[in-house]
Structure 1
Amino acid sequence: MIAENRILEWNTDGIVVSKEQKQFYLKNGYVVLPKLIDQRSIDVYTQRFQDICSGKCPKSSQMVLMRDIVVAKKGETTITENNLNKITNFMEDDVLWDYCQQPKIINGVKDLIGRPDSCILAMNTMVINKPPDFGKLSSRHPLHQDLHYFPFRPSDFICCAWTAMERITRSNGCLVVVPGSHLGPLLEHGYPEWDGNVNSAYHGIKDYSPDLNMVHLEMDTGDTVFFSPLLIHGSGYRKAITAHFANDDYCRYLPKDNPEMKFVMEDFDKIIEKFMKKKGFDGSELSFHDFWAVRAKEICGVRSNL
């Protein structure tokens, strides 16, 4: 638990995150920093996203473009901004990778999960998009904890940075969080029992109280929320750029036979195999741990563990 961690410093101002903001994060599992990323950078990332959608600029080899399952089942093959939900693995795209190199992102991450000399890795990178509603709500992500997907620990040394690329409100799909839930355990996840389909790997917490104290995070363009991988959260989709970061000095991979990871590993094995076969490779050669290791990229420091 974060509250038990004696390595991280919570009682002094950080470079980006103030003492008061650190204390808020410690108690609630998230903190919003207004206008952390400037409008010019947001405009550049937005244009790059649009250029990738239109084919004006080629996607990098590891990049994955994800469409809503409803669109995919209709047999549509052309990628457009109106049918793309998400771009993942942008670590090879120099324009989008700039987000992970933003000093305020790097130092904000260090303030919360490290120190000035920590080796920080970006483990997961995404641009999230909100296409027009197809009426099926299949791309909603139910309440979940990101740690469910991660085969590395401890959670104290992992955090997400999530930046709004447009005005995000309760009415158009803002993030929903449960303050303080990061102090509890990793809960059991599965596919939600919703009518119709749901996108692959959109897992949700199986049993939770309907009385959870959920807070809607309305954000302006450039506002950034940092949050713990144990924080219970969910959302509709609006345009956002995000990355999960890990402190390589302390994080280690779990044993491959860890029972906690069984469900997500089995689900992702199918996704990985399908992706690798599209690339002309035998998908069975890449394990779930390998999947994470090849996507990890140094932000600062020398990688030695993940």
Structure 2
Amino acid sequence: MAERIRTLTGHLVRHTGKKSPDVQNVSGNLSPAVQSSFRYTLENPLKTLTKNQRNFYEENGYLVIKYLVPVSALQSYRKRFAEICNGECTVPGLTVMKDVALAKSSPIQGEKAVVKIQDFQYDDALFQYCCLPQIIRYVENFTGPNIMAMHTMLINKPPDLGKKTSRHPVHQDLHYFPFRPADRIVCSWTAMEKVHRQNGCLVVVPGSHQGDLKPHSYPKWEGGVNKMYHGITNFDPTLPMVHLEMDPGDTVFFHPLLIHGSGTNRTDSFRKAISCHYASTDCHFIDIAGTSQENLAEEVIDLAVKRTGLPREDIQFKDIWTLKSRCVKGEQNHLQGY
């Protein structure tokens, strides 16, 4: 596998030679998780989570922490996003995505043409978000002390052009991940401005993290669907859902099996959020052949082939995820990032 990764890296990534930004050790040495009534959260000497917060996450699969990220940090991420969109800098391995409605018909360029950037793990300016001590303090309650950043995104949900393509179908993030166990994976999702129902806030199905991974596919929407925006097949719309309206800096932590999505942006402004999926380095890659994730893996590999020009047999799904990841804190163990 090492030789495949080196070859793929040469096509996808120009390594900067820099280590991850320093992260303050906010927890000291954590002892192994003790057996308790808690499944989805771990014991933490600093008691970052109250018992009520742990109980809420255990039952619902998500937890919102108010004003966790300062406005000054959000402003720096916004500035860097604009620089990337305007072509003022090049980030190795970064993926820049346009809304399907804009990509087909609009001459709009720059920041207003971009719906999302992802895989910014090699950009130290944006990667600072993944290493914020106040976020890591919470992440450790879900992953333990050895932490990998596995997937990074800055979402720029555009004003909808009438096609409803700005919405995101309800899905489970674990559909995209070839590593387990799911209970040692968590997402931090931070609002960069006020997020509400009108501009397409997150919507979640409380308690759905206690279920299984559902089959996913592209929804058959008349206006089209953005690339990789898979949704749960035959989703039951009568399930109880909660809209997460958030202020700038508010951060929601949620389980990768939590069913969630976001609505149409019915305002005239873009709705920005920044996120990172973390996993314990004790997680391990799995073989997704023959599972509901296999079609997704084939689609991702197809894109990697187009991007690199490498033969298909030289690229494996887990190699791509290895390149996406970067160690944030502690020992790398089984999930070996670049």
Residue 73 of structure 1 pairs with residue 104 of structure 2:
yes
Please, which of 212, 229, 234 is the counterpart of residue 256 of structure 2?
Answer: 229
Q: Partners of 2:190 and 2:211 in 1: how far apart?
A: 25
The residue that corresponds to 1:207 in the other structure is 234
Please, which of 290, 299, 302 is the counterpart of residue 328 of structure 2?
Answer: 299
Q: Partners of 1:287 and 1:105 in 2: how far apart?
A: 31
Larger mean Cα displacement after TM superposition, 290-299 or 258-267: 258-267
Look up the equivalent residue of 2:65 and give its one-letter code. Answer: L
Q: Is contact 1:81-1:131 (8 Å) kept?
A: no
Q: Partners of 1:82 and 1:192 in 2: how far apart?
A: 25
Deviations 1:32-72 (A, max 9, x none): 0000001111111111111111223x131101111112222
Look up the equivalent residue of 1:303 and give its one-letter code. Answer: Q
Residue 217 of structure 1 pairs with residue 244 of structure 2:
yes
The residue that corresponds to 1:270 in the other structure is 302
The residue that corresponds to 1:289 in the other structure is 318
Residue 121 of structure 1 pairs with residue 153 of structure 2:
no
Q: Give me the TM-score of the superposition, normalised by structure 2.
A: 0.82
Look up the equivalent residue of 1:42 and give its one-letter code. Answer: L
Q: 1:283 and 1:74, CA in 2 relative to 1: closer, same or farther beyond 3 A?
A: farther
Q: 1:4 and 1:151, CA in 2 relative to 1: closer, same or farther beyond 3 A?
A: farther
* Correspondence list, 1:22-33, <5 A: 22-33=54-65
Q: 1:186 and 1:6, CA in 2 relative to 1: closer, same or farther beyond 3 A?
A: closer
Q: Partners of 1:288 and 1:157 in 2: how far apart?
A: 20
Q: 1:246 and 1:65, CA in 2 relative to 1: closer, same or farther beyond 3 A?
A: same
Q: Is contact 2:154-2:275 (8 Å) kept?
A: yes
Q: 1:16 and 1:275, CA in 2 relative to 1: closer, same or farther beyond 3 A?
A: farther
Look up the equivalent residue of 2:273 and give its one-letter code. Answer: A
Corresponding residue SS for 1:160: strand
Please, which of 153, 158, 164 is the counterpart of residue 180 of structure 2?
Answer: 153
Corresponding residue SS for 1:259: coil
Q: Partners of 1:284 and 1:239 in 2: how far apart?
A: 37
The residue that corresponds to 1:59 in the other structure is 90
CA deviation after TM superposition for structure 1 residue 7, in Å: 9.0
Identity of aligned residues (%): 45
Look up the equivalent residue of 1:95 and give its one-letter code. Answer: A
Q: Is contact 1:16-1:104 (8 Å) kept?
A: no
Q: 1:94 and 1:283, CA in 2 relative to 1: closer, same or farther beyond 3 A?
A: farther
The residue that corresponds to 2:15 in the other structure is none
Larger mean Cα displacement after TM superposition, 260-269 or 161-170: 260-269
Aligned-residue RMSD, C-alpha: 2.2
Q: Partners of 1:223 and 1:4 in 2: how far apart?
A: 28
Corresponding residue SS for 1:129: strand
CA deviation after TM superposition for structure 1 residue 275, in Å: 2.5
Please, which of 289, 309, 315 is the counterpart of residue 257 of structure 1?
Answer: 289
Larger mean Cα displacement after TM superposition, 125-134 or 226-235: 125-134
The residue that corresponds to 2:278 in the other structure is 245
* Correspondence list, 1:35-114, <5 A: 35-56=67-88, 58-74=89-105, 76=107, 79-114=109-144
Q: Partners of 1:99 and 1:166 in 2: how far apart?
A: 15
Q: Partners of 1:204 and 1:270 in 2: how far apart?
A: 20
Q: Partners of 1:27 and 1:227 in 2: how far apart?
A: 12
Q: Is contact 2:204-2:261 (8 Å) kept?
A: yes
The unaligned stretches of length 5 or more in structure 2 are 1-35, 266-270
Please, which of 155, 159, 175 is the counterpart of residue 202 of structure 2?
Answer: 175
Larger mean Cα displacement after TM superposition, 282-291 or 218-227: 282-291
Q: Partners of 1:21 and 1:7 in 2: how far apart?
A: 12
The unaligned stretches of length 5 or more in structure 1 are none
Q: Is contact 2:40-2:183 (8 Å) kept?
A: no
Corresponding residue SS for 2:157: coil
The number of aligned residues is 295
CA deviation after TM superposition for structure 1 residue 80, in Å: 1.2
Q: 1:79 and 1:61, CA in 2 relative to 1: closer, same or farther beyond 3 A?
A: farther
Look up the equivalent residue of 1:32 and give its one-letter code. Answer: V
